[in-house]
Amino acid sequence: MQTKEDILDAVYQIILHRKNHPTEQSYVASLYAKGLDKVLGKIGEEATEVAVAGKGGDPEQVVCEAADLIFHLLVLLGHYELPPERVYAELRRRFGTSGLQEKASRSK
């Protein structure tokens, strides 16, 4: 069985493969071909859909939309060749710190 990190890493590796070996049938390749603005637009679209699903109160819809958002975030990480481990490391760094304190430390 895969852990949370394993599945995200596995999806990320597929995203990188499709980025580096594009085919006409690849959704990921089509996003990269349309450029960074398209990837960013999809993230905004999916974030809005997560919010709408959250407001709608259907937990299954929230899960589906959250998965779409996470997928598109992985596509963005792939654009910059940033492995998910970088995000995990940042979350570990922040763990145990007040969100208000952490945010204040970034503005200095």
Q: Is the pLDDT of residue 91 over 80?
A: yes
The pLDDT assigned to 84 comes to 95
> Taking a C-beta distance cutoff of 8 angstroms, is the pair 38, 31 a contact?
yes
* Rounded average pLDDT over 3-27: 92
Domains and CATH numbers, the chain: 4-106 (1.10.287.1080)
The pLDDT assigned to 3 comes to 64
Alpha-carbon span 14 to 6, nearest angstrom: 12
Q: Is the pLDDT of residue 107 over 80?
A: no
**Residue 15 has which token pair?**
């995203």
Which of 11, 34, 10 shows the shortest CA–CA distance to 22? 34
Report the chain's mean pLDDT, rounded to a whole number: 92
The pLDDT assigned to 36 comes to 98
CB under 8 Å, gap of 24 or more: what pairs does 15-21 form? 15/74, 15/75, 15/78, 16/78, 16/81, 19/78, 19/79
> Taking a C-beta distance cutoff of 8 angstroms, is the pair 75, 31 a contact?
yes
The pLDDT assigned to 5 comes to 59
Alpha-carbon span 64 to 54, nearest angstrom: 11
Model confidence over 22-80: pLDDT tens digits? 999 999 999 999 999 999 999 999 999 999 999 999 999 999 999 999 999 999 999 99
